Amino acid sequence: MIRYQSEQGFKIGPLGFLIVINLILYVATSIKPDLFIDLFGFQPASFLNEPWTILTNLFIHSPFNINSPFGSIWHILANMITLYFFGSYVIRLVGEGRFLIVYFIGGIVGNLFFMLIETLTGSPYTIAIGASGAVFAIAGTLTVMRPKLPVIIFPIPLPIPLWVAVIGGFIILSFARFVAWEAHLGGLLVGLIAGYIFRRRGRFFM
């Protein structure tokens, strides 16, 4: 009989950690939506008094009892499924550390874009929640590094190039109500810049 013991053991990794935390907080927000959205949601008008919300809102998603077309389980499912597939690929290319840097910088810059534009347009009391800005940063990074990667986007039955899916998805969502397109734009720009830097420096596996 041979006894085998894994040296690495179980490891959830940063990607799994992000997804698990988002899912846990989604359940909590579904139970107490007003509490969690008020405490962790990002509102430009109250940012100076609640600066932590520029980061914490990335972990809060609208529950099923919020009165908006995106206030359902589809909000978090879309973000987490996209994050899993794109994030897994980006981690293989650039590593976990750079993945996290792009993710959080993209989310924060997305919030700054949201704050700037909402303030200029007279809507500083709007609250933004969700990881979409950070997810778009990861998508933008992968778009530059692997633009022709074939992906299948529901309900399109055939694979399309990644760059078409990401840019097309951004444009379509930008015209939808209750969507913080400014955060998507900020995150996407961060991702495109990061992807360009990684590609120029060759810091990924071919």
Structural contact between residues 136 and 170, judged by C-beta atoms closer than 8 angstroms: yes
Structure tokens at 79: 């973000």
Task: State pTM to two decimals.
Answer: 0.88
pLDDT digits (tens, 9 = 90+) for 149-165: 998 877 777 888 999 99
CA distance 92 to 6: 22
Q: What is the pLDDT of residue 4?
A: 38
The reported pLDDT for the residue numbered 113 is 97
Q: In this structure, what are the phi and psi dihedrals at residue 151, rounded to the nearest 5 degrees?
A: -135, 155
The answer, yes or no, to whether residue 114 has pLDDT greater than 80, is yes
CATH superfamily of 21-201: Rhomboid-like (1.20.1540.10)
Sign, CA dihedral 190-121-180-14, equals positive
What is the per-residue pLDDT across 58-112, written as a single tens digit (0 to 9) for each?
Answer: 999 987 654 454 456 888 998 999 999 999 999 999 999 999 999 999 999 999 9
Domain ranges of the chain: 21-201
Q: Which two tokens stand for residue 7?
A: 């040296």
Give CA–CA dist 179/170, Å, rounded: 11
CB 188 within 8 A of CB 132: no
Residues in the chain: 206
pLDDT above 80 for 10 = no
| Residue 29 backbone dihedrals phi, psi, to 5 degrees | -70, -35
Q: What is the pLDDT of residue 72?
A: 67
More confident residue, 2 or 101: 101
